[in-house]
Amino acid sequence: MLKKILLAGAFALAAPVGAMAAMIGGSIDIAGSVTNNGSFVTDGGVTFNGNGSTQLATGDFASVPAPALGDVTLTDIAFATPGTIWEVGGFTFTATGFFGIDQDTFHATGDISKAGFDDTAGLLVFTTQGINAIASFSTTTTTVPLPAGVLLMGTALAGFGVMRRRKDKKAA
């Protein structure tokens, strides 16, 4: 019995232990000025006129003051080459893909990152109120299912089943 306990302890100590940071949660609304020559579809992207400002921030983004006028660094967007769209308060949204591109709106999927947090999947919804007008967009974190939890639970239940079967065989 002692041998089994020592062996289990050795396995526990040898198991890799990873450091985990928290996922980013919340949403942030940003406004700025854009030049739009008629349609995002024909333009193939967005040209910003300077920096933007935060309008509302919740969750982990609440540390970003609103309105932080001119504090949001906006990077021109080319739909063909996804990349960083905005940076503020140490947070960065990097687009990985675009969809729903229309005359004055589009959506982007991507990663939100900040030091001390795990990169988190995010969704950006971008709208304008006319040509050469104010653009507003909201970026929210999205939940990603964790299949490892299901695997861990299934393995634990299978282990209990095996232990029960062995106990029943010993009793018989």
pLDDT level of residue 113 (50, 70, 90 thresholds): very high
- Tokens 């959506």 correspond to 107
- Tokens 């104010």 correspond to 134
Does residue 156 register a pLDDT over 70? no
- The average confidence (pLDDT) of the chain is 75
- Residue 72 contacts residue 30 (beta carbons within 8 Å): yes
pLDDT at 160: 60
Does residue 98 register a pLDDT over 80? yes
- Tokens 């400002």 correspond to 53
The beta strand positions in the chain, using DSSP E, are 22-23, 27-35, 45-48, 53-57, 73-74, 77-78, 84-88, 91-99, 105-113, 117-118, 120-128, 134-141
pLDDT at 70: 60
Per-residue pLDDT reduced to its tens digit, 14-61 = 555 444 568 888 888 888 888 777 677 777 888 888 888 888 888 888
The strand pairing partners of 12, in sequence order, are none
CA dihedral 119, 85, 69, 27 (to 10 degrees): -40
pLDDT at 21: 64
pLDDT level of residue 2 (50, 70, 90 thresholds): low
Instruction: Tell me the longest C-alpha to C-alpha distance in the chain.
Output: 83
- Tokens 């005359």 correspond to 103
Q: Which of the two residues, 56 and 164, has the higher pLDDT score?
A: 56
- Ranked by mean pLDDT, the top range of 2-16, 47-61, 65-79 is 47-61
pLDDT at 84: 92
